[in-house]
Structure 1
Amino acid sequence: MARNNAHFGVSPRLAVLLGESYRTAELALKELVDNAWDANAAAVSIQIPSVLTENARIVISDTGEGMSPKQIREQYLRIARDRLKERGTRTGAPFNREIKGRKGVGKFAGIVLAEVMEVETKQKGKLSRFRIDRRTLENTPGDIVRIKVPIDTTKCSPQENGTTITLSHLAQTINFPTAESLRHTLAPDYGREERFAILVDGTRLDHMQTAGHKAVETLTAADLTGLRVELVISEKRLPKEMQGIVVRVRGKIVGRPRLFGLEQDESVPPRLLQHVTGVLYADELEEEAARSGWTDLNESEKRVAAAFAAAGRLLKEQLKAAYSQQMSAAHARFMKKYWQRMRELPENKREFAKRELANIVNRYLGNDERTDEAIEFMLKGLEQDDYWAVMKALIEAVPGDISAVAQALKSFGLIDLAMVARGTKARLGSLRSMRLLIGDDATIEARMHEIVERNLWVFGAEYALLSSNQTLQTVIPKALAVRKSWRDGSKRPDLLLLNRYKDRFLLVEFKRPSETLNWQDKAQAEDYRGLLLSYASPIDIIVVGGKRIKEMPQLPENGSIKMLTYFELISQAESELQWLLKELAADRTTFGEPATVIATDE
């Protein structure tokens, strides 16, 4: 038998497909701005044509490091280059920024908007020019590595550095970006960056260009008469570095972003504070800033306390107004979107759907994607049967006491409880399959991770509101990238980060069923939590393995970390499900149905 080697080929269309992965034209342009940030630019200018004519062009010009001909060949034109391995997670001096581009495909963002992307870049006295043509990429047969990209190089002043990208032959088939829509896209990430000036059609980007409820007010407090607050309560949750209100004294930001005590105010939803950005201009606090060395303001000083109290009152008023406006607008928008499907439901279900839609909009306000997912899930359940109503009652009955489940179900006398019993029996069957896996020493942690992530109910009533999403999973490699063992894969842990409830999170570390948990495993898990706290907080931990050393309790110390065996996890879930089946059987008898309908298969 003859054996021949084969090789992967890469079609030139890959570049086009990568470029088309951006959901909007504004996000594609933001990718090019992110590249300027990564190039240590102090400023970037973007020119957007007001009218889409045949000769219209978009020009993005930055003052960054630029590229040499060698860098163009070996780095820029290399698809999916791993920037982290080559240059680390941060830029060099003077800015030491965290790198934004990590996949090595952002260079193709320009061809979403244009047929031709021309690049002119300067570095160390050399000016290089080249172009990427979308039609060439689409129409060239064979492999992308065979496409020639001519690079023209001439001399320039050694003092000149930076890159200019010109997009021409603009696409006529997309919703074209405007200067305003681009500012709204860029402001949440860059609106408050002092050392990265973005000019869109000559206007400097700032936090006030974030889309949302805006307020500009002059305040008086104590003997202070010139306090001025500019704030935005954005439509969507802001990046962490943009959240809060900074205090600016004589043009200098003093201290950390603040919420003026509203984070301790129980009447203000914590998630709403993640939408706040702004500036408190307080030049009259110059003496107080000087006394603290311009590093922070002492809140014990009377004038500082008075200024912060006044700003806090204003912020609370504006949050109340914005929340009401945004809730009304979001409710109307989603009701209009889903009304046709709701009209087709029976009347009793329709009224339930209307109430639940309002609850979902309130719960996920500012996260349209999550809102759509929840409404879709709710409507599909109602369109098929009464399963959604039962499950909603179950969810609201926990976390806390599993006995509350029975009481929740009793309020739904018209619902066929046998449906819930069938689901419960199916889960018991799943647990039996899991037992077989954990009894096999060959089972690896990744396999257990995959199964448990799809069956989060296995954690039981205490963790009944767990949910997983792609955004949370991308946090883990970001946070752990500082560990060499994570980057090179030599000792990469198997971690799962989950939403819990009341703004809590759960970190689960999976060990092999053949491994015995020890104190080193506990310390290691706490180290991972420390790295993740800047992304999500507070975080509880569960470490799951095959066995646990004798001297280690299941719930060490303060209780925020559990060291569980797979046997304990499955046994606890099994006990709760068996108890639930027993209660359901009793309720079926109450409603006039024979208990044998939901008897177990045991």
Structure 2
Amino acid sequence: MTSSAAPVEKDFSIAVMGRTLEHLGVQMYKRRDAALAELVANAWDAGATEVVITLPDPRTYNREQDEIIVRDDGAGMTDESLQSDYLVIGRNRRAAGQAEIGGRKPMGRKGIGKLAGFGLAQRMKVDTWRDGSNTTVTLDVDLLKTPAGDVRTLTLPGSVRTIPNADDHGTCITLSNLKHASALDPELLRHNLARRFSRSVRGRMLILVNGVAINDAPVNLSHREPEQGEIEEELPDGNRITWWAGFSDKTLSTEMQGFVVIVRGKTAQAPPFFFGVESRASGQHGTKYLTGVIEADFLDDGADDDSDHISTDRQEVDWSDESVSALRQWGETVVRRLLREHSSRKGDQAKKRVQDNPNLAKRLDALDRKSKEQARRFIGALGASNTDPERLEALADTILRAYEYRQFHDYIEQLDLVIEDPEKFEQTIDLLRGWRVLESRAVLEVVKGRLDIVDKFHSMIVDDAPETAPRVGRDNMHDLIADFPWLINPEWQVLAEEKRITSQLREWGFADADPDDRTRYDFLALRGEGRLVVIEIKRSGHSVSIDDLHQIDRYAEKLRQAETGEVSMAVITGSGYTLSGTARKGWQDRDDIELLTWAEIHARAKSFYEHYRAVLEGDVDDSGFGRKASEIARTRNVLTSGAYRGPTERSVGLGNQDRDYLADER
């Protein structure tokens, strides 16, 4: 649009029924991609060949200052048509006999898609040009609100000006005072809009987001029906549809799962959608991998309200309507078949993979006929549950061991019970896999012991147990952590306790350590990949001050002198942190320290080990039982005599840990 003469002010009017804008704009279009899709659909109906969406930069996003702009090269509007057509809420353009532009079937019908902008912003500026004039009007949702039950005609300030080129046409919607705290992700919006519009629409109208055309999310399909293109099919009621479906080799995002139903080039049923059979169909776990598109224009062929089978926000078809029953029944049948066939394919692939492994095949063939058939069924079930191929052979090995070792035979019945639940089935086999290194089921006492220690830890927090204790029989946090280092963090390995900083530096070969420095840390841990953590613990009743934080900061700085790699910090206390808001935020924003409480540590340990309760009942997975058998004796001692170690036990060193990072590195 070229420059023009000065604008002439002009008032426009809009009739608003009580709370209409709130219900039809603000509340209805809560999904930002759905709201923008409505504005793109309006551009299609206006005959646009290009729509440009401009989003704020996520790195500098400010919702009060930034704008979202949707600009198209469609027919545009004069001031008269803007008043008579655009500013009439609920105008049915089809019933009104509005002509199609460029031979396109209009997507809109209800006349409220224009309000979708209020799902993203408080203010919507409409700037449109046609026939040598440029018209502008601004709609502010706060100024358009009316009490429930009232019908008011409101005045909208606007302007009209002439433009030199009478052939210019188009519309630009500017959304400001944005509602959402986070910025839209441009790439994600491109994928979501591509999912909402048919390929034919995208072929006739270029849709750009920040200068890049919308594009399908990258999906690697292991199976597609048909291999290319779409299938055209006639339903029993005579209506015609086109469709395709495929299965990804990896779990799909929610937006990509299931079918999207497209009507007149635009979404009428948003994903994930499986015609309601996902919880009942054989192989229902395959829904996370199934994607597809159905185009069914007959769902929106009419012009009157009675022929409308699609929700106002274009998110759902009214599947209870008898006129869509043929499509619903067809969809239920097709989805069941697709999931069943996918399950069968994956199961056959799993059986072949095992059969192609000489060791597994030999062991499978050595089983008696009944056991062999049952084992093959279990292996097929693993494949049908989309088990990672790299894990499949390890889990198949576990299934074979269940037959080969008599102590596991009673678990065959358990596998039979859970085979129809893919997640529980795989978890159960993982459980058996973890048990293969244990000599006896009695080792499960370790599991119960760990849960009891977590419970004891909680009671010590409640009872305000001291950091250390001077005599036998007194619980104290330091000795509990020393006996059971996994309480701090199941992923960390504690290396040492109560060591002078200078001694630690000398061990690392740092000869310049200050001999007069007598400061010592509580614990030093390894968190993987050579990253060390110096840990300072405080009694449950101690509230950490800024001086405490400066102290551990000095510890870390001294340890960094040895150039051993990254050294971070962790402080654990029970009564919080006596820091000002600014100081607290400053420390929290640092990426080299964690400000923790005993309650948080307990919650993390409980979360990590709580599933062991179910291990005792035999229905969840666990692959981390290694190196636990020696815990039993010490567990009983702590639970009966308290968390206190004498000099002899202290000389033995730290208790068992779940993961040996040093061994991993070696």
Normalised by the length of structure 2, the TM-score is: 0.35
Larger Rg: 2
- The structure, 1 or 2, with the larger RCO (C-alpha pairs under 8 Å, 6+ apart) is 2
Normalised by the length of structure 1, the TM-score is: 0.39
